[in-house]
Amino acid sequence: TFGSAIIQRNPLFSTLNHDDIIYFEKTLGVKNVIQDDEELETANTDWMHKFKGSSKLMLLPENTDQLSQILKHCNSRHLAVVPQGGNTGLVGGSVPVFDEVIINTRRMNNIISFDEVSGVLVCEAGCILENLITFLDQKGFIMPLDLGAKGSCQIGGNVSTNAGGLRLVRYGSLHGTVLGLEAVLANGDVIDMLGTLRKDNTGYDLKHLFIGSEGSLGIITKVSILTPPKLSSVNIAFLACQDYISCQKLLFQAKRKLGEILSAFEFLDAQAMNLVLNHLDTLRNPLPSSIYNFYVLIETTGSNESNDKEKLEGFLVEAMESGLVSDGAIAQDSNQSASFWNIREGIPEALQKAGAVYKYDLSIPVEKLYDLVEEMRIRLGGKANVVGYGHLGDGNLHLNVSAPQYDDDILGEIEPFVYEWTSKHHGSISAEHGLGLMKAEKIYYSKSTGTVQMMASIKKLLDPKGILNPYKVIPQLLLST
Ligand code: FAD
């Protein structure tokens, strides 16, 4: 059961038999066919420990050919599968709902090529984001995306969820930076869309179907991505604002005064800061002299150190004089920069440690964005801790409700209110995390009936038996008819 939706195992799917295991062992080698309880327990459970499947099998292909063979077999046998990368997804998309076979791409982790002139990186889907960041750093480049889960998430997972993260304000979404990809369809067909060109208008650009489709249309096996050069001067400021309107005005000013060097604009409220300080022992408040209602992290990235610093300092002086900013610090070295980022990036972990957490990842027009947090606080009274933070520069709020344990009364207060509110204010119920299992049935809050029907038609075309990540992304009713 999830919320009001009761999901039943699709009776058309078969169950694993001995011959399947023999086939997989022959194709992948015995040690890459995982039936061990402990390993399966981890792979069946999502990052939040909120969604849990009961798969009896995880497959670890090493290359596209192996993946194609196992998918072909699953399709012919009507065995449902879940594509899995780093399993850091936050909407229950990366774990089975019932006994789906888990196909994890972690062994497909080779860098295929890097072109130092164009900055185009081609790699396999199982490369861990942080490893790509480290590889590029040595070459004088950076990844166009960065997120708190970088140590575990894989580029294939990032592309499949169209992950946004901390740099989207500067480098845009993966729909812009992913230049090509290779994917395997449910029937095992390998579709080569692995272009490396910035411009290619030869017909439909089908790679976009796979970016953000959360493993429902195919399994991504290779990615080609445009990476920006690493610029020499990065500055980070940690600022305090007394009210939300000041955060908004600060963003408005930052876009104008820091324009071409602005590379991140993140915010957190006092509740988020308290959680981090209470649950992550090693972190300290960079602005300890008082308690503020809001904190903003601004990062600039440019090529002229003295110019960029002067620009940021001038911006801050003005912001303090006009009263938008009550207090602030600019990081003096890389350790301090990291400690500022650790506060912002530590929030999901702190929430995790605090108990049960209801997570909502919403796009809302910036001027209305924090109203929802305040309304939710009033709605829940003292029953739970309501926390607001996120990528303010992109109009992306992470609304989190933290409680000692999951409780249907609390959930009933939050949903469907949160979705109705977002829809009423022309927002999106998923800014960057996707729909997964959590929000598949809620899609109509953000998409028209015609659009959802077209999504279902595309799904039926590419995966007629519906074996790829069933019960996720698209409402069940549409696929069963
Ligand atoms: P998984 O979790 O394994 O899978 C995610 C989805 O993609 C699933 O539906 C899965 O079936 C599918 N999938 C995975 N690999 C493939 C593949 N090769 N082919 C087809 N489908 C596949 N997200 C953001 O957008 N911005 C953030 O700032 C951000 N911060 C985060 C911070 C933390 C601490 C955590 C835990 C998560 C955060 N996330 C964020 C969530 C984000 O979606 C994931 O971290 C990441 O993009 C998923 O990558 P993964 O490899 O872990 O994929």
How high is the pLDDT of residue 440? Answer: 96
State yes or no: pLDDT of 481 exceeds 70: no
Tokens, residue 164: 């946004």
For strand 101-104 and strand 81-84, is the pairing parallel, antiparallel, or unpaired? parallel
Between the CA of 163 and the centroid of ligand 1 the distance, in Å, is 7
Q: Say yes or no: ipTM exceeds 0.85.
A: yes
Question: Which residue's CA lies nearest to atom 47 of ligand 1?
Answer: 158
Give the atom of ligand 1 at the shortest distance from the alpha carbon of 89.
Answer: 2
Q: Are 111-226 and 355-445 in the same CATH fold?
A: no
Question: Which residue's CA lies nearest to atom 4 of ligand 1?
Answer: 94
Question: Which residue's CA lies nearest to atom 53 of ligand 1?
Answer: 157
Question: Which residue's CA lies nearest to atom 38 of ligand 1?
Answer: 149
d(CA 391, CA 397): 7
Judged by DSSP in three states, 21 sits in helix
Mean pLDDT of 355-363: 96
Q: What average pLDDT does the structure give for the chain?
A: 96
Q: The pTM is what?
A: 0.95
How high is the pLDDT of residue 3? Answer: 44
Between the CA of 214 and the centroid of ligand 1 the distance, in Å, is 9
Measured from the Cβ of residue 233, the count of other Cβ atoms closer than 10 Å reads 16
Does the Cβ of 84 fall within 6 Å of ligand 1?
yes
Does the Cβ of 105 fall within 6 Å of ligand 1?
yes
Mean pLDDT of 434-443: 96
Does the Cβ of 427 fall within 6 Å of ligand 1?
no
Element counts in the chain: helices (H) and strands (E): 18, 16
d(CA 463, CA 94): 18
Give the atom of ligand 1 at the shortest distance from the alpha carbon of 84.
Answer: 3
State yes or no: pLDDT of 5 exceeds 90: no
Confidence of residue 305 (pLDDT cuts 50, 70, 90): very high
Between the CA of 153 and the centroid of ligand 1 the distance, in Å, is 6
pLDDT tens digits for 213-270? 999 999 999 999 999 999 999 999 999 999 999 999 999 999 999 999 999 999 999 9
3-state SS string for 167-188: CHHHHCCHHHHEEEEEEECCCC
How high is the pLDDT of residue 198? Answer: 94
Does the Cβ of 154 fall within 6 Å of ligand 1?
yes
Q: Judge contact between 57 and 101, C-beta under 8 A.
A: yes
Give the atom of ligand 1 at the shortest distance from the alpha carbon of 436.
Answer: 9
d(CA 60, CA 296): 42
Instruction: Write down the residue that tokens 């750093």 correspond to.
Output: 137
How high is the pLDDT of residue 388? Answer: 98
Confidence of residue 480 (pLDDT cuts 50, 70, 90): confident
d(CA 217, CA 162): 14
Does the Cβ of 160 fall within 6 Å of ligand 1?
yes
Phi/psi for 327 (5° steps) reads -160, 160
Select from 88, 109, 363 the residue to mutate for testing ligand 1; criterion: most ligand atoms less than 8 Å from CB.
88
Q: E-strand spans in 15-77? A: 33-34, 58-59
Measured from the Cβ of residue 21, the count of other Cβ atoms closer than 10 Å reads 15
Does the Cβ of 51 fall within 6 Å of ligand 1?
no
d(CA 213, CA 220): 10
pLDDT tens digits for 161-218? 999 999 999 999 999 999 999 999 999 999 999 999 999 999 999 999 999 999 999 9
Between the CA of 89 and the centroid of ligand 1 the distance, in Å, is 4
Between the CA of 84 and the centroid of ligand 1 the distance, in Å, is 9
Between the CA of 158 and the centroid of ligand 1 the distance, in Å, is 5
pLDDT tens digits for 401-428? 999 999 999 999 999 999 999 999 999 9
Mean pLDDT of 111-138: 98
Question: Which residue's CA lies nearest to atom 26 of ligand 1?
Answer: 165
Mean pLDDT of 121-147: 98
Does the Cβ of 125 fall within 6 Å of ligand 1?
yes
Does the Cβ of 94 fall within 6 Å of ligand 1?
yes
Q: Is the dihedral of CA 442, 443, 449, 453 positive or negative?
A: negative
pLDDT tens digits for 49-89? 999 999 999 999 999 999 999 999 999 999 999 999 999 99
Between the CA of 185 and the centroid of ligand 1 the distance, in Å, is 20
d(CA 417, CA 253): 33
Select from 48, 68, 71, 90 the residue to mutate for testing ligand 1; criterion: most ligand atoms less than 8 Å from CB.
90
Mean pLDDT of 16-45: 98
Fold of 355-445: Alpha-Beta Plaits (3.30.70)
How high is the pLDDT of residue 6? Answer: 78
Measured from the Cβ of residue 332, the count of other Cβ atoms closer than 10 Å reads 8
Between the CA of 105 and the centroid of ligand 1 the distance, in Å, is 13
Q: How far is CA 238 from the centre of its chain?
A: 24
Question: Which residue's CA lies nearest to atom 16 of ligand 1?
Answer: 157
Confidence of residue 4 (pLDDT cuts 50, 70, 90): very low
State yes or no: pLDDT of 383 exceeds 50: yes
Phi/psi for 295 (5° steps) reads -130, 145
State yes or no: pLDDT of 442 exceeds 80: yes
Q: Which CATH number fits domain 111-226: 3.30.413.10, 3.30.465.10, 3.40.50.1370, 3.40.449.10?
A: 3.30.465.10
Does the Cβ of 158 fall within 6 Å of ligand 1?
yes
* Domain-wise residue ranges, the chain: 111-226, 233-347, 355-445
Give the atom of ligand 1 at the shortest distance from the alpha carbon of 431.
Answer: 25
Question: Which residue's CA lies nearest to atom 13 of ligand 1?
Answer: 157
How high is the pLDDT of residue 290? Answer: 85
How high is the pLDDT of residue 1? Answer: 39
| Selection from 142, 122, 110 nearest residue 223 by Cα | 122
Between the CA of 157 and the centroid of ligand 1 the distance, in Å, is 5
Give the atom of ligand 1 at the shortest distance from the alpha carbon of 158.
Answer: 47
Longest CA–CA separation in the chain, Å? 73
Give the atom of ligand 1 at the shortest distance from the alpha carbon of 83.
Answer: 11
Fold of 233-347: Alpha-Beta Plaits (3.30.70)
Give the atom of ligand 1 at the shortest distance from the alpha carbon of 155.
Answer: 51
